[in-house]
Amino acid sequence: MRTDNRTEKSVKKKKRKKKRYLLKLVIIILACIGLHFLLHIDYFTVDGITVAGNKEIADQEILKLSQIEKGENIFDAHPVFAQRRIKKNLYIEDVDVKRKLPNMIEIVVTERSGKAQFVKGKNFIVTDNEGLVLEIAKEEQRATLVENTKVQKAKLDKTIEVKEEETYEKAMELIKAAETGDLYFKRLNIEGKQVEAYIYDKLVCVGKYDEVLSSINSGALKTVVFDLYQKGIKSGTINIGTNNYCSFTP
């Protein structure tokens, strides 16, 4: 009889545990359903999306890439997925997407810009300062056109490969220095030690590579260019010599 009682108690105990487990499971399911409906009320509907940090890329382009839209639930807008989609644009170096409860989305981007471009066939290969290919365009872009450099290989999001590596490195060094010195070259032509750096189509800086680089870093070239700009002069030759000496020939 004792054995039967123990067995019966054990069975009843298992049944009570099973009932408690099922009850907890039902409560959890109901809580999840309730939470889902709570989070999807109109209070959490996206009412505004702000975009900051962009100068070159339009707000609409970034919003389109994010695939986040007004009217959707804020918890259905997944920041990580949106960031991955936005970074498909190679001109965007970094992006941070945040939910601002109850109904706002904030997108902050850091852009990278095209600094140099090279001709390959009928295309223009646009790169940043590190040679990363950002765009392969059919038309010339607003970036310094580097001449006398043959592109061997160019793939998006990969470093450009060129034949004339020394010429390429000199060109990129001049472009970086010009950016730091608040100058912009429309195109660069480098042959050996000789440099032709075009400010405008008909205004060119001519000199040896080391002397041109020195005049940029010292600010001497910028002073001459600014003076010509104030006078409305957009054609002629700026001859660059030793000790940052610059002379202008109309």
Q: How confident is the model at residue 140 (pLDDT cuts 50, 70, 90)?
A: very high
- 237 pLDDT tier (thresholds 50, 70, 90): very high
Which is more confidently placed, 196 or 12? 196
Q: Does position 16 have pLDDT exceeding 70, yes or no? A: no
Residue range 3-26: mean pLDDT, rounded: 64
196: confidence class by pLDDT, cuts 50, 70, 90: very high
Cα angle, residue 132 at apex, residues 60 and 112 outer, rounded to 5°: 35
Name the percent of the chain lying above pLDDT 90.
81
Q: Round to whole Å and give the CA distance between 217 and 199.
A: 16
User: What is the pLDDT, as a whole number, of residue 34?
Assistant: 52
Q: How far apart are CA 27 and CA 121, in angstroms?
A: 67
Q: How much is the pLDDT for 216?
A: 98
Report the DSSP beta bridge partners of residue 134: none
Kindly compute the dihedral angle of the four CA atoms of residues 9, 15, 19, 25, in this order, to the nearest 10 degrees. Answer: 120
The whole-number pLDDT of residue 150 equals 96
Tallying the residues shown for the chain, one arrives at 250
pLDDT tens per residue, range 39-71: 565 778 999 999 999 999 999 999 999 999 999
